[in-house]
């Protein structure tokens, strides 16, 4: 059972130049490889396959210059023949000198493995939390957003590696307010604007779902990060308060 | 935007309700990255919920108020009326219903003005919380019918919603308070900006242009 919100995705307000279709083949989950069909997923992960036409466009267009990193900006027009519910967005694409093709993908689907979440929390130095609680917190979150790094090595017949490198989640009443918690980026991938993209996309999805009041709590070290994303501390003097935060 | 409406600070006898140190639960210190949970050790014993209330459920009953801990029987239109009387902009009733239906991971506590014959009464005090049910919760829409303020009903719902959340195991309980009601929440155990952690709100007009 996928974690995260169980609400249906709303129609998007803009198109990404490629999209992802959700499907599941029998009870197993398969990763669609654009080159050679399906390969079994390692864990029970619903990975979105990207359409064949996308791979064609990648091969013919985007990889004209090898070793170039493409920043993928979603176009602003909506093309009707595309899937109306794109949940995945490619933020970065890059071909390594050795031919490995990499993508960093944002997803609002909340498809995330608790073990991967725990590993990510370990990497950023958080104290361990029980897996059952992590699972419950994801399940009860209105929105769980992830950043995954997808690597496809040449000559491995297209077996994709998928690694969780960022996550953020929001709780909400599904109507008025949302609160963002646990914004994490793998330290190895920090400093590239991925945290910014993660939060921006999370905000975009919340606004698309008409959640008008987006809130969070931030310490001094990250206050400027959120200010630059459009957050204001103590608006109109309204103070964040916590119950017995100090002994 | 704020977690409550215009609420007069509660008067009346000062309460001795502060959880004494030895009753608070001890957890190992935690440090979290952005969107923060404050660092806070606690003592080992949890207070028994009912022992911690300034005014018990039974006492409220004798005064004609019934404590409710779910949205069953809640008159949404009447609640919306209370919201407008405390100064919230009028909410869309369907959205309000949706918000009330999605309290999973959170909690809701309200006080019903008891009617004779057991008929459902109107809400006169209310608080709800959103959250993930294990780590974090945020309390919203704390209101007391203006004509009934100053009697301890706001305190009553707050004590109980905190107890509900604690009972579920949630230890990080936050809210957003207008400056004039910060003093209402302090004696209930809430502190502003612990460890320098501040509440932030997104505003489209604050967005920097790319």
Distance from CA of B106 to the nearest CA of A (A): 9
A245–B132 C-beta distance less than 8 A: no
Q: Where are the alpha helices (DSSP H) in A36-97?
A: 52-57
Q: What is the pLDDT of residue B204?
A: 84
Catalytic status, residue A226: yes
Contact B130, A171 (CB under 8 A): yes
Please indicate whether, in this complex, the C-beta atoms of A237 and B102 are within 8 angstroms of each other.
no
Whole-number pLDDT of residue B147: 97
Nearest CA to B151 out of B31, B30, B51, B54 is that of B54
Partners of residue A129 in chain B, C-beta under 8 Å? 135
In a domain, B76, yes or no: yes
The CATH number given to whatever domain includes residue B123 is 3.40.630.30
Q: How far is A172 from chain B (nearest CA, A)?
A: 6
Would the CB atoms of B201 and A179 count as touching at under 8 Å? no
Which residue segment(s) compose the domain that B155 sits in?
Answer: 52-171
Mean pLDDT of chain A: 75
pLDDT value of residue A105: 97
Indicate if the pLDDT at residue A89 is higher than 80.
yes
Give A241's contacts in chain B (Cβ within 8 Å): 174-177, 182, 185, 190-192, 199
For an interface test with B, give the residue of A217, A225, A237 to mutate (most B CBs within 10 A).
A217
- Structural contact between residues B173 and A243, judged by C-beta atoms closer than 8 angstroms: yes
Chain B hits for A203, Cβ within 8 Å: 202
On whether residue B193 sits in a domain, the answer given is no
Residue B37, domain member (yes or no): no
Is the confidence at residue A241, as pLDDT, over 80?
yes
Q: Which ipTM did the prediction report?
A: 0.79
Asked if A242 and B95 come within 8 Å (Cβ–Cβ), the reply is: no
Distance from CA of B42 to the nearest CA of A (A): 6
Contact A226/B at CB under 8 A: yes
B113 lies in a domain?
yes
Q: How many domains does one find in chain B?
A: 1
Tell me the per-residue pLDDT of A41-65, one tens digit each, with 9 for 90 and over. 333 333 344 433 343 333 333 333 4
Interface residue of B176, B185, B196, B207 to substitute, partner A, most A CBs within 10 Å: B176
User: CA of A47, closest CA in chain B: separation in Å?
Assistant: 25
What is the arrangement of strands in the sheet containing B136-144, beginning at the earlier edge strand? B65-68, B107-113, B123-131, B136-144, B172-177, A239-243, B190-192
Q: What is the value of pTM for the model shown?
A: 0.73
The tens place of each residue's pLDDT in chain B, 210 residues long, gives 334 333 333 333 333 333 333 333 443 333 334 466 665 555 444 444 455 799 999 999 999 999 999 999 999 999 999 999 999 988 999 999 999 999 888 999 999 998 877 777 999 999 999 999 999 999 999 999 999 999 999 999 999 999 999 999 998 999 999 999 999 999 999 999 999 999 999 998 876 654
- Does B58 map to a domain? yes
When CB atoms are compared, the residue of B98, B106, B133 closest to A175 is: B98
Record: contact B34-A183, CB cut-off 8 A: yes
Give the chain B residue nearest A185 (alpha carbons): B33
CB pair distance less than 8 Å for B35 and A217: yes
Q: How many CB atoms lie within 10 A of CB B36?
A: 28
- pLDDT, residue A134, reads 97
Residue-wise pLDDT tens digits, A18-47: 333 333 333 333 333 333 333 333 333 333
Residues of A in contact with B193 (CB under 8 A): 239-240
Strand, coil or helix: what is A63? coil
Q: Report yes or no on B102 lying in a domain.
A: yes
CB–CB of B199 and A239 under 8 A? yes
Q: Got the DSSP string for chain B? A: --SB-S-PPP-SSPP-----GGGSPP------SSS--------SPPPPGGGG-SS-HHHHHHTTEEEE-SSTT--HHHHHHHHHHHTPPPPPHHHHHHHHHT-TTSEEEEEEE--GGG----EEEEEEEEE-SSSEEEEEEEEE-GGGTTSSHHHHHHHHHHHHHHHTT--EEEEEE-GGGHHHHGGGTEEESGGG-EEEEE-GGGPPP-
Interchain CB contact of A174 with B (< 8 Å)? yes
Is residue B61, in this structure, part of any structural domain at all? Answer: yes
Question: Does residue B125 fall inside a structural domain?
Answer: yes
Determine which of B34, B94, B138 to mutate to test the interface with A (most A C-beta atoms within 10 Å).
Answer: B34
In A, minimum Cα distance to B166 occurs at A243
């Amino acid at each position: 059972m996928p974690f995260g919100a169980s609400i249906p995705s709303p129609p998007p307000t803009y198109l990404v130049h490629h999209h992802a279709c959700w499907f599941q083949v029998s009870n197993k989950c398969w990763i669609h490889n654009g080159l050679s069909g399906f390969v079994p997923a390692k864990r029970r992960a619903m990975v979105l396959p990207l359409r064949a036409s996308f791979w064609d466009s990648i091969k013919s267009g985007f990889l004209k210059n090898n070793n170039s990193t493409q920043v993928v900006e979603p176009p602003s027009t909506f093309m009707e023949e595309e899937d109306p519910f794109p949940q995945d967005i490619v933020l970065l694409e890059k071909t390594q000198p050795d031919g490995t093709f990499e993508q960093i993908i944002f997803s609002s689907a909340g498809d995330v493995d608790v073990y991967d979440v725990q590993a990510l929390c370990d990497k950023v130095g958080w104290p361990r939390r029980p897996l059952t609680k992590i699972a419950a917190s994801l399940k009860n979150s209105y929105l769980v957003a992830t950043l995954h790094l997808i690597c496809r090595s040449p000559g491995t017949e297209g077996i994709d590696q998928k690694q969780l490198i960022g996550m953020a989640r929001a709780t909400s009443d599904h109507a008025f307010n949302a609160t963002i918690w646990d914004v994490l980026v793998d330290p190895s991938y920090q400093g590239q604007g991925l945290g910014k993209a993660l939060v921006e996309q999370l905000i975009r999805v919340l606004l698309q779902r008409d959640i008008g009041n987006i809130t969070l709590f931030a310490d001094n070290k990250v206050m400027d990060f959120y200010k630059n994303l459009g957050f204001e501390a103590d608006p109109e003097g309204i103070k964040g308060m916590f119950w017995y935060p100090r002994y | 935007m704020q977690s409550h409406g215009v609420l007069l600070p509660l008067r009346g006898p000062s309460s001795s309700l502060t959880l004494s140190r030895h009753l608070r639960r001890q957890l190992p210190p935690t440090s979290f990255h952005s969107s923060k949970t404050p660092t806070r050790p606690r003592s080992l014993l949890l207070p028994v919920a009912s022992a911690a209330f300034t005014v018990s459920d039974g006492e409220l009953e004798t005064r004609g108020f019934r404590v409710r801990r779910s949205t069953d029987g809640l008159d949404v239109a009447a609640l919306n009326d209370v919201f407008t009387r405390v100064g919230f902009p009028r909410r869309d009733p369907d959205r309000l219903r949706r918000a009330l239906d999605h309290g999973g991971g959170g909690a809701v506590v309200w006080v019903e003005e008891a009617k004779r014959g057991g008929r459902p009464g109107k809400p006169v005090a209310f608080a709800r919380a959103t959250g993930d049910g294990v780590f974090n919760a945020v309390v919203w829409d704390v209101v007391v019918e203006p004509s009934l303020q100053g009697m301890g009903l706001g305190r009553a719902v707050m004590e109980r919603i905190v107890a509900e959340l604690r009972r579920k195991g949630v230890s990080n309980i936050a809210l957003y308070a207008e400056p004039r009601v910060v003093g209402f929440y302090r004696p209930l155990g809430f502190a502003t900006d612990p460890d320098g952690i501040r509440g932030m709100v997104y505003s489209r007009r604050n967005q920097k242009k790319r």
